[in-house]
Amino acid sequence: MRHRDDNKRIALLDATIAQVAEHGFSGTSVARIAKAANLSPATLYIYFADKDALLKEAFLYVSDQLIEVAVEHFLRGQDVREGMRLEWHALFRMGIAQPELFRYHETFTHSSWMTADLQARNEHEAAVLMNAFEDAKREGLIKPVAFSLLETFVYRPIYHLVQRTLQGSFIADDTHIDQAFEMAWDAVALCKKPSPKQP
Amino acid sequence: MRHRDDNKRIALLDATIAQVAEHGFSGTSVARIAKAANLSPATLYIYFADKDALLKEAFLYVSDQLIEVAVEHFLRGQDVREGMRLEWHALFRMGIAQPELFRYHETFTHSSWMTADLQARNEHEAAVLMNAFEDAKREGLIKPVAFSLLETFVYRPIYHLVQRTLQGSFIADDTHIDQAFEMAWDAVALCKKPSPKQP
Amino acid sequence: MRHRDDNKRIALLDATIAQVAEHGFSGTSVARIAKAANLSPATLYIYFADKDALLKEAFLYVSDQLIEVAVEHFLRGQDVREGMRLEWHALFRMGIAQPELFRYHETFTHSSWMTADLQARNEHEAAVLMNAFEDAKREGLIKPVAFSLLETFVYRPIYHLVQRTLQGSFIADDTHIDQAFEMAWDAVALCKKPSPKQP
Amino acid sequence: MRHRDDNKRIALLDATIAQVAEHGFSGTSVARIAKAANLSPATLYIYFADKDALLKEAFLYVSDQLIEVAVEHFLRGQDVREGMRLEWHALFRMGIAQPELFRYHETFTHSSWMTADLQARNEHEAAVLMNAFEDAKREGLIKPVAFSLLETFVYRPIYHLVQRTLQGSFIADDTHIDQAFEMAWDAVALCKKPSPKQP
DNA sequence: GATGAATGAGTGTTCATTCAT
DNA sequence: CATGAATGAACACTCATTCAT
Residue C136: predicted pLDDT: 95
Residues of C in contact with D25 (CB under 8 A): 24, 26
3-state secondary structure of D164: helix
Q: Does B143 touch chain A (CB under 8 A)?
A: yes
Chain D residue closest in CA terms to C169:
D148
Residue A197 has pLDDT above 70, yes or no: no
Q: By the 8 A CB rule, do D54 and D48 touch?
A: yes
Q: How far is C33 from chain D (nearest CA, A)?
A: 17
The mean predicted confidence, pLDDT, of chain B is 92
Mean pLDDT of chain A: 91
Helices A99-109 and A156-167: angle between axes, nearest 10 degrees:
120
User: Between the CA of C3 and the C1' of F21, what is the distance in angstroms?
Assistant: 8
- Alpha carbons B9 and B30: distance in angstroms, whole number: 14
Phi/psi for B98 (5° steps) reads: -130, 70
Given an 8 Å threshold on Cβ–Cβ distance, is A143 in contact with B170?
Answer: no
Which residue from C26, C164, C183 is facing D26, i.e. has the nearest CB?
C26
Contact exists between D and A (3 or more beta carbon pairs < 8 Å): no
Least confident of C3-7, C53-57, C153-157: C3-7
D5: the nucleotide nearest its CA (via C1') is F1
Rounded distance between C-alpha atoms, residue A168 and residue A162, angstroms:
10
Concatenating the DSSP letter of every residue in B47-73 gives H-SSHHHHHHHHHHHHHHHHHHHHHHH
Q: What is the pTM of this model?
A: 0.89
pLDDT at C98: 96
Distance CA C187, CA B186 (A): 98
Nearest one of C47, C52, C27, C50 to C37, comparing CA atoms: C47
Percent of chain A with pLDDT over 90: 78
* pLDDT, position A17: 97
Strand-pair partners of B187: none
Nucleotide at minimal C1' distance from the C49 CA: F13
B138: Cα separation from own chain's centroid: 26
Evaluate if residue A198 carries a pLDDT over 70: no
Judge: A184–B149 Cβ closer than 8 Å, yes or no. no
For chain C, the three-class secondary structure string (H helix, E strand, C coil) is CCCCCHHHHHHHHHHHHHHHHHHCCCCCCHHHHHHHCCCCHHHHHHHCCCHHHHHHHHHHHHHHHHHHHHHHHHHHCCCHHHHHHHHHHHHHHHHHHCHHHHHHHHHHHCCCCCCHHHHHHHHHHCHHHHHHHHHHHHCCCECCCCHHHHHHHHHHHHHHHHHHHHHCCCCCCHHHHHHHHHHHHHHHECCCCCCCCCC
Which residues of chain B make contact with A25, given a CB cutoff of 8 A?
24-26
Gap between the Cα atoms of B156 and D17, Å rounded: 59
Q: E strand or H helix at D12, and its extent?
A: helix D6-23
Which nucleotide, over all strands, has the C1' atom closest to the CA of A52?
F16
Nearest to B170 among A106, A107, A146 (CB): A146
CB C188 within 8 Å of CB C148: no
Number of C-beta neighbours around residue C3 at 10 A: 5
What is the distance in angstroms between the Cα of B142 and the nearest Cα belonging to chain A? 11
Give the Cα separation of C66 and C15 in Å (integer). Answer: 18
Length of chain A: 199
* Confidence (pLDDT) at A53: 96
pLDDT of residue A192: 47
Q: Is D172 on the interface with C (CB under 8 A)?
A: no
pLDDT greater than 80 at residue A54: yes
Per residue in B153-179, pLDDT (tens digit) is 999 999 999 988 988 889 999 999 999
List chain A residues with CB under 8 Å of B27: 112
CA D61, CA D69: separation in Å to the nearest integer?
Answer: 13
Q: Collapsing DSSP states into helix, strand and coil, what is residue B1?
A: coil
Task: With a cut of 70, say whether residue D130 has pLDDT above it.
Answer: yes
Long-range contacts of C12-16 (CB under 8 A, 24+ apart): C12/C37, C12/C39, C12/C44, C12/C47, C12/C48, C12/C54, C13/C54, C13/C57, C13/C58, C13/C61, C16/C54, C16/C55, C16/C58, C16/C104
Quick check: D194 pLDDT over 50?
no
Chain B residues closer than 8 Å to A164 by CB = 148, 152
For residue D106, is pLDDT > 90?
no
Q: What residues of B are in contact with residue A107 (Cβ under 8 Å)?
A: 110
Q: What is the dihedral of CA C158, C160, C163, C165, to 10 degrees?
A: -70
Kindly give, in sequence order, each residue whose CB lies less than 8 Å from that of residue B33, ignoring residues fewer than 6 positions away: B12, B15, B16, B19, B44, B54
Q: Which bases along strand E come within 7 Å of a protein CB atom?
A: 1-21
Q: Do B188 and A183 touch (CB under 8 A)?
A: yes
> What's the Å distance between residue A91 CA and nucleotide E5 C1'?
45
Which protein residue has its CA closest to C1' of F8?
Answer: B40
Q: Report pLDDT digits (tens) over C98-111.
A: 999 999 998 898 88
C143 touches chain D (CB under 8 A): yes
Q: Rounded to a whole number, what is the distance in Å from the CA of A7 to chain B's nearest CA?
A: 30
pLDDT in tens, D26-44: 889 999 999 999 999 999 9
D50 dihedral zone (left: phi>0; alpha: psi -120 to 50; beta): beta
* C115 in contact with D, Cβ within 8 Å: no
Put simply, the answer to whether D111 touches C23 (Cβ < 8 Å) is no
8 Å CB contact between B90 and B98: no
**Which nucleotides of chain F does any protein CB come within 7 A of?**
1-21
Task: Say whether pLDDT at A30 is over 70.
Answer: yes
Q: CA of A49 and C1' of F18: distance in angstroms?
A: 13
Of D112, D146, D184, the CB nearest to C27: D112
Sorted by where each starts, the structural domains of chain B and their CATH numbers stand as 1-48 (1.10.10.60), 60-188 (1.10.357.10)
**Which residue's C-alpha is at the least distance from the C1' of F18?**
A42
Neighbours of chain B (3+ CB pairs under 8 A): A
Rounded to 10°, the helix D127-138/D51-76 angle is 40
CB D153 to CB C110 under 8 A? no
State pLDDT tens for residues A60-103: 999 999 999 999 999 999 999 999 999 999 999 999 999 999 99
Distance (Å, whole) CA B39 – CA B55: 17
pLDDT digits (tens, 9 = 90+) for B8-48: 999 999 999 999 999 988 889 999 999 999 999 999 999 99
Look over chain C and give the mean of its residue pLDDT values, rounded to a whole number: 92
- How far is the alpha carbon of B127 from chain A, nearest alpha carbon, in Å? 18
D26/E18 CA-to-C1' distance in Å: 22
pLDDT for res B191: 67
User: Under a CB-based contact definition with an 8 Å cutoff, are residues C70 and C159 in contact?
Assistant: no
DSSP B95-124: HHH-HHHHHHHHHHHTSTT--HHHHHHHHH
- In this prediction, residue C63 has a pLDDT band, given cuts at 50, 70 and 90, of very high
Length of chain D, in residues: 199
Residue A1 has what pLDDT? 46
| CA distance linking residue C12 with residue C95, whole number of Å | 21
Tell me which H or E stretch contains B128: helix B127-138
| Shortest-distance nucleotide from D26 CA to C1' | E15
Of D113, D125, D3, the closest CA to residue D70 belongs to D125
Span CA (C43) to C1' (E11), Å: 17
Percent of chain B predicted with pLDDT > 90: 79
- Residues D189, C183: Cα–Cα separation, whole Å: 9
- Cβ pair A132, A74 in contact under 8 A: yes
Using CB atoms, pick whichever of C152, C191, C193 lies closest to residue D160: C152
D151-160 tens-digit pLDDT: 999 999 999 9
